[in-house]
Amino acid sequence: MEIKTYNPQDVKKELTTLYKHFPEIKRLLRTFGCDRVTAEDIFQESLIIYIRKKSDADFEFQLEPIHFIKQTCKLLWFNLARKEQQQNISVSSIDLEDTPDKWMERELHYKQLETALTKIGNQCKQLLHLFYGLGWSMIEIARKMDFRSDKVAKAQKYRCIQKAKSLVQEAQLTVEPIQF
């Protein structure tokens, strides 16, 4: 298992700081013809990608975080726009010096697979979020979610992860890897 290299508290703090740049990025995206709702989606996606990339030990940031996010947003929007055949944006007008690498490709693939997880029930979602995302102990989870004991919570966790796995497996069969 990937050992998490980020601390949820730090991530929360950093996200709050980064979010302040949202109006700026939104304006940027809107100059490309992106609507407000999509702009926020793209911004959020790029935040996810940024945090993940940052916790990747092999990677060292060359850019200011906000520039990296700007680039990512552009890329994501471009990718989305192309997919929706909004071809009225001329490709050449976008600065493409940072062409998508393997890493980014994988992220986009993950993004697609990840949507499968929304089908998992609310309880499972919360449990898995607390355990894998925030790294809570089973005892804490049992208390928070009103399980009789941590044993029960643990059993439930195995059931949930099994469900998640089958959803992911199913998604793998239907989602095609993204081509740039």
Q: How far is the CB of 167 from other proteins (least distance, A)?
A: 8
- Cβ atoms of 49 and 55 within 8 Å: the answer is no
Q: Which is nearer to other proteins, 115 or 149 (CB)?
A: 115
Residue 70: both structure tokens together: 């700007």
**Residue at token pair 């697609």:** 112
- Cβ atoms of 6 and 55 within 8 Å: the answer is yes
Other residues' Cβ atoms within 10 Å of the Cβ of residue 92 = 7
> Binding mask 62-101 vs other proteins (x if CB under 8 A, - otherwise)?
----------------------------------------
> Binding mask 133-152 vs other proteins (x if CB under 8 A, - otherwise)?
xx------------------
Q: How far is the CB of 47 from other proteins (least distance, A)?
A: 5
Residues in region 30-69 near other proteins by CB under 8 A: 36, 40, 44, 47-48, 51-52
Mutual angle of helices 22-31 and 65-83, in 10-degree steps: 40
Contact region with other proteins (CB under 8 A), list: 4-12, 67-75, 82-90, 93-101: 4-12
Q: How far is the CB of 91 from other proteins (least distance, A)?
A: 25
Interacting residues with other proteins (CB under 8 A): 1-2, 4, 8, 11-12, 15-16, 19-20, 22-23, 26-27, 36, 40, 44, 47-48, 51-52, 110-111, 113-114, 117, 125, 128-129, 132-134, 158-159, 161-162, 164-165, 168-169
